[in-house]
Structure 1
Amino acid sequence: MSYTLHQLDVFACVAKNKSITKAAKELFMSQPAVSIQVKKLQEHFDIDLIEVIGKQLYLTDAGVELYNSQKKIKNELKALEMALDEFKGVMKGKLSVVVVSTAKYFMPYILGAFRNESPQVQISLKVTDRIEVTSQLEENECDLAVFSQLPDGIALEQIEFLSNPLVLAASPKHDLANKKNIQWKDLEEHDFLIRETGSGTRLVMERLFNQENINPKIVMELSTNEAVKQAIMAGIGISLVSRYSLSNEEKMGKISVLDVNGLPYVNNWKLVYPKGKKLSPVARSFIEFTKSRDILAIIG
């Protein structure tokens, strides 16, 4: 009995998640179907690849070896596809991009404009949290990722392609909504909302608090930018948010940008990939697209 690439992929997903349940959810398969594929691999190699102790799944030494080999095989297959695409001389293939949640406000427009010029390219865009984006980079599961604040511990190539102005936003009914030239010390008595630990926006916000030597009251921690905006509109507090995420709410008069001395704080959005990674022709073409086009005009 021979094994298949599909079985290797299923096993790799189990190994990555250390859970058949999580792997089944990610692969849109039933748990029994995932278990069967792993069992067939074990039968083929005549060795245990996983073991369950208590309720925790672990890889055996053989399982670790197979998982590492599967990643090498996937990389070789990607390299083969890239080489064949270059032989054909056609901008055709797949582009997988994974982005932190705030980038969802502009990346669809940029990717859409790119595909208008290269209609044979298939694009996958995954929007998730910073931890998952970092994991996708480490596991080589995407072509490119998008951050504003780079993660620690990974050697990355980076291409800045868009400014990221961060502003303090509040409900239009907030006491500070119509004040001019607000000083940071004036903010200390007001309630603040903050993103979850690890969020790039939170990292900048904490840096600004330290820089301005203030210790404001944090009344709520939220896991998404959308949740932060809803809490701002509900009048719960003020928070630092990307200007790109506020266009609709500002136009509708639901959120006000505060006139704070020294803001907006501007950093840059970056396309990143691991150092040493060989990019596909499509990924290289997309990077060149972001360098040669007016991105601000594209996102409106």
Structure 2
Amino acid sequence: MSFTLHQLDVFAEVAKQKSMTKAAEKLFMSQPAVSIQVKKLQEHFGVNLFEMISKELYLTEAGKELYEAQKNIKSEVESLEMALSEIKGMLRGSLNVAAVSTAKYFMPYILGDFRSKFEKIKMSLKVTDRNEVKDLLRKNMCDLAVFSELPKDLDLEAVEFLDNPLLMASAADHPLAKKKNVTFKDLEDHPFLIREPGSGTRIVMQRLLDEHKIDPEIVMELGTNEAVKQAIMAGIGISLISKYSLTLEESVGKIAVLDIDNLPYVNKWKLVYPKGKRLSPAAQSFIEFTTNESFKEILK
């Protein structure tokens, strides 16, 4: 093989930036040095990797093939480096986790404690909506993802690691806030707030409403837990929400947890990855860390 990993990295940066000059700035190289590395790759494969359109570089079909191959090669090399580091007794490398929005209330604490034990691992946490997390899994752009309700349209391996208690919450002065043994039938005459389509909490809430055969008025659809909490405190409606997101508001008396039969509803947070994916040593170690009972002390 007469080309190098460095040349592939330079080529990939040019592909991302669509510019030799911008890639050179990102890589702290001169523009001629970047051009030379790309030229050597093109000479090796005997094809043009880029074409110029309106003063911007675009990948040719051959370039697109090489770009995908470069990402796979880089991933394999990183896995090899981590595996060899683990053999030497010093786990290092990177761990990229994507998580649905509710997980932001506990994942930073878990990752922080994990990093205190494996300081050489570089970590990233992307907290976003359910659809984007699914997209990152499809594109193999994260090592692990965090869901409570698994997507049915993806073929995934899942490891349960934490309880996810879901509670029905209201404003502190809501008529049901002080009532004991509230039933689901009692809820039917009160306005509800609901998360956006696809949200794991929405899936569970719709399941509970169907099971108890009630059809309350949905007065507002909201895209984040923070928005739901603000709407609850504003007295707009009640909603099912994760216990992890209520710690502050409940402690200062801004939000009340309703005393409802069969709640909290407890499902499990899961670490997931595509079936067939070869996990890096860092990802494997993180799964082992989160399935050890002692790690839950972090969240108390």
Q: TM-score category by the smaller chain?
A: 0.7 to 0.9
What's the CA shift for 1:120?
2.2
Q: TM-score, normalised by structure 1?
A: 0.81
Task: Give the Cα separation in 2 of the matches to 1:185 and 1:291.
Answer: 38
Q: Which has the larger radius of gyration?
A: 2
1:283-298 to structure 2, matched below 5 A, reads 283-298=283-298
Aligned pair in 2 of structure 1 residues 10, 175: CA closer, same or farther (>3 Å)? farther
Question: 2:29 maps to which residue?
Answer: none
In 1, are the aligned partners of 2:171 and 2:256 still within 8 Å (CA)?
yes
Instruction: State which of 9, 14, 18 in structure 2 corresponds to 1:5.
Output: 9
Task: Give the Cα separation in 2 of the matches to 1:185 and 1:6.
Answer: 63
In 2, are the aligned partners of 1:110 and 1:298 still within 8 Å (CA)?
yes
In 2, are the aligned partners of 1:191 and 1:218 still within 8 Å (CA)?
yes
SS of equivalent residue, structure 1 residue 116: helix
SS of equivalent residue, structure 2 residue 74: helix
What's the CA shift for 1:48?
6.1
- Say whether 1:131 aligns with 2:140: no
SS of equivalent residue, structure 1 residue 97: strand
Question: 1:215 maps to which residue?
Answer: 215
In 1, are the aligned partners of 2:49 and 2:60 still within 8 Å (CA)?
no
SS of equivalent residue, structure 2 residue 283: helix
In 2, are the aligned partners of 1:99 and 1:133 still within 8 Å (CA)?
yes
Question: 2:115 maps to which residue?
Answer: 115
What's the CA shift for 1:60?
6.8
In structure 1, what residue type is equivalent to 2:234? A
Task: Give the Cα separation in 2 of the matches to 1:119 and 1:72.
Answer: 26
Question: 1:46 maps to which residue?
Answer: 48
Task: Give the Cα separation in 1 of the matches to 2:51 and 2:67.
Answer: 9
In structure 2, what residue type is equivalent to 1:8? A
In 2, are the aligned partners of 1:188 and 1:216 still within 8 Å (CA)?
yes
Task: Give the Cα separation in 1 of the matches to 2:174 and 2:252.
Answer: 16
Question: 2:30 maps to which residue?
Answer: none
Question: 1:279 maps to which residue?
Answer: 279
- Say whether 1:245 aligns with 2:249: no
Query: 1:125-179 deviations in whole A, cap 9, x for unaligned?
Result: 1111111111111111111111101112222111111100001100011111111
Task: Give the Cα separation in 1 of the matches to 2:132 and 2:122.
Answer: 22
Unaligned segments of structure 2, at least 5 residues:
27-33
Q: TM-score, normalised by structure 2?
A: 0.81
In structure 1, what residue type is equivalent to 2:101? S
In 2, are the aligned partners of 1:49 and 1:61 still within 8 Å (CA)?
no
In structure 2, what residue type is equivalent to 1:239? S
For structure 1, which segment, 145-154 or 115-124, has the greater mean C-alpha deviation from structure 2 after superposition?
Answer: 115-124
Task: Give the Cα separation in 2 of the matches to 1:10 and 1:183.
Answer: 61
SS of equivalent residue, structure 1 residue 294: helix
What's the CA shift for 1:75?
2.9
For structure 1, which segment, 287-296 or 234-243, has the greater mean C-alpha deviation from structure 2 after superposition?
Answer: 287-296
Unaligned segments of structure 1, at least 5 residues:
15-19, 30-36, 53-57
1:1-300 to structure 2, matched below 5 A, reads 4-8=8-12, 11=15, 44=42, 45-46=47-48, 61-62=61-62, 64-300=64-300
In 2, are the aligned partners of 1:85 and 1:281 still within 8 Å (CA)?
no
Aligned pair in 2 of structure 1 residues 59, 174: CA closer, same or farther (>3 Å)? farther
What's the CA shift for 1:61?
4.8
Aligned pair in 2 of structure 1 residues 86, 60: CA closer, same or farther (>3 Å)? same
Q: State the identity as a percent.
A: 57
Task: Give the Cα separation in 2 of the matches to 1:97 and 1:85.
Answer: 21
In structure 2, what residue type is equivalent to 1:299? L
In 1, are the aligned partners of 2:201 and 2:241 still within 8 Å (CA)?
yes
What's the CA shift for 1:41?
6.9
